[in-house]
Amino acid sequence: MVIRGVGLDLGTANTVVYHPKHGVLVDESSVMVVRSGLAGKRLRPIMVGRQARAITGRCPPGLLTMRPLHDGVIVDLEVARAFLAGLPRIGGRHWPKWSAVIGVPAGATALEKRALVEAADEAGLRRVRLVAEPIAGALGCGVNPLDSQAHMVIDIGGGTSEVTAFCFGGILTHRSCRVAGDELTLALYQFLRTEHQLIVGELTAETVKCQLASEQNLSLLAQGLDAATGRPRLVTLGVREVTDALRPTVDTIITTLAGCLEDLPPQAVDDILAEGVWVFGGGSLLRGIDKLLEDAFGFSVRLADRPLTCVAEGAAACLAHPEVLAAFDGQVANLG
Ligand SMILES: Nc1ncnc2c1ncn2[C@@H]1O[C@H](COP(=O)(O)OP(=O)(O)OP(=O)(O)O)[C@@H](O)[C@H]1O
Ligand SMILES: [Mg+2]
């Protein structure tokens, strides 16, 4: 069977486009730069993706950075359309008009889903279909969502965190919250400001947070402006104090997600105990979060092999498995 299409994970922080044959075509930040003062006109991005992300916080006058998504969903159709239409230009490629399966948060409303389909249609994608991101992520981890055994997956992204248990093409339990990696970055920014009187940019706060993931880093460096003098300053941070600063936000995510256990049918426990809970999304790379999830859930936790691209891979796999799309169509919009 020849499959002409792509899987697309349009995330709050990153966008991944995956082709079943050619692999990852795009793995870029979900940011674009446009000229300011063009209100009412059709948006034409000057830069899209990583290049646009690099000038976040230092955008010269006359230019504006925009994100197509906030907390996992589209809030402005025109911004999302312009971003999607700009994607093929990355690396100077030209794509044929592909059909697409796009990941959407399991808790997205009908209105939010429609906005995504409209934006993708307008951006030139054909035959757009949606799949719940946890189901796509599970497929990307090699789990069959139509299996008669129960599975549980956790996705901690930039804007949303979700946990979903499913079995035999049906959702057993689902919880989500709009607190994820970006809130962790914000918590770190606030910690640096209040405890170290250091004002840093968003990119610096995120880099320091990501440095924590490497076990080799015994201390972390943050460069910014002294809040009192306004002069540049370098601060050395201990791993422990950064971990502690992020802990309340991590706890909020974990407590909300663990609430799904209330609805989990006891009969599903054996299956999940045997397999463990799959965890993916960039937030799952935060040091120690797997252990905290294990403590809260009581199940072992398995980090996906490719936590940042498995949702797009699974969405692409749906092109060859329309029965997955049919089984989960519209099931989860009103849950959690
Ligand atoms: N090594 C790391 N340690 C901690 N956090 C990380 C690491 N790498 C990436 N992240 C965080 O992961 C988040 C992005 O993850 P991901 O790409 O899964 O989100 P997304 O799919 O764009 O968002 P969403 O699914 O919420 O719409 C960002 O907040 C980023 O800072
Ligand atoms: Mg995501």
Q: What pLDDT shows up at residue 1?
A: 55
Determine whether the shortest distance from the Cβ of 135 to ligand 1 is under 6 A: no
Q: Encoding tokens for residue 260?
A: 């799904």
Distance 324 CA to ligand 2 centre (A): 19
Separation of alpha carbons 114 and 33, rounded Å: 25
3-state secondary structure of 193: helix
End-to-end CA distance of the chain: 37
Q: What pLDDT shows up at residue 332?
A: 47
Could you tell me the sign of the dihedral formed by the alpha carbons of 120, 166, 307, 283, in that order? Answer: positive
Instruction: Kindly report, residue by residue over 45-63, the tens digit of the pLDDT.
Output: 999 999 999 998 898 999 9
Beta carbons within 10 angstroms of residue 232's beta carbon: 10
Determine whether the shortest distance from the Cβ of 137 to ligand 1 is under 6 A: no
Prediction pTM value: 0.94
Q: What pLDDT shows up at residue 335?
A: 41
Q: What is the DSSP string of 117-173?
A: HHHHHHTT-EEEEEEEHHHHHHHHTT--TT-SS-EEEEEE-SS-EEEEEEETTEEEE
Q: Which domains does the chain have, with CATH numbers?
A: 5-141+310-328 (3.30.420.40), 148-304 (3.30.420.40)
CA-proximal residue: ligand 1, atom 15 (nearest): 282
Which residues pair with residue 222 across a beta bridge?
235
Which residues surround the ion ligand 2 when the cut-off is CB under 5 Å? 11, 157
Cβ atoms 169, 145 nearer than 8 A: yes
Determine whether the shortest distance from the Cβ of 203 to ligand 1 is under 6 A: no
Q: Residue 141: is its pLDDT beyond 60?
A: yes
Q: Encoding tokens for residue 135?
A: 């189901």
Mean pLDDT rounded to a whole number for the chain: 92
Separation of alpha carbons 290 and 76, rounded Å: 34
**What burial class does residue 231 get, using C-beta atoms within 10 Å of its C-beta: 0-12 exposed, 13-18 middle, 19+ buried?**
exposed
3-state secondary structure of 225: strand
Distance 101 CA to ligand 2 centre (A): 14
Instruction: Kindly report, residue by residue over 271-315, the tens digit of the pLDDT.
Output: 999 999 999 999 999 999 999 999 999 999 999 999 999 999 999
Query: Which atom of ligand 1 is nearest the CA belonging to 161?
Result: 26
CA-proximal residue: ligand 1, atom 19 (nearest): 157
Mode of pairing for the β-strands spanning 301-303 and 277-280: parallel
Which residues pair with residue 322 across a beta bridge?
none
Determine whether the shortest distance from the Cβ of 308 to ligand 1 is under 6 A: yes
Distance 266 CA to ligand 1 centre (A): 32
Single-letter residue type at 125: L
Determine whether the shortest distance from the Cβ of 68 to ligand 1 is under 6 A: no
3-state secondary structure of 47: strand
Determine whether the shortest distance from the Cβ of 103 to ligand 1 is under 6 A: no
Separation of alpha carbons 230 and 104, rounded Å: 43
Determine whether the shortest distance from the Cβ of 213 to ligand 1 is under 6 A: yes
Beta carbons within 10 angstroms of residue 255's beta carbon: 11
Cβ atoms 223, 200 nearer than 8 A: yes
Query: Mean pLDDT, to the nearest integer, of 250-267?
Result: 97
Query: Which atom of ligand 1 is nearest the CA belonging to 311?
Result: 21
Instruction: Kindly report, residue by residue over 10-48, the tens digit of the pLDDT.
Output: 999 999 999 999 999 999 999 999 998 776 778 899 999
297 sits in which H/E element: helix 289-297
Cβ atoms 101, 127 nearer than 8 A: no
Residue 248 to residues 15, 156, 243, 287, 324: CA-CA distances in angstroms?
28, 16, 10, 15, 37
Q: Which residue has the tokens 């840093």?
A: 200
CA-proximal residue: ligand 1, atom 1 (nearest): 210
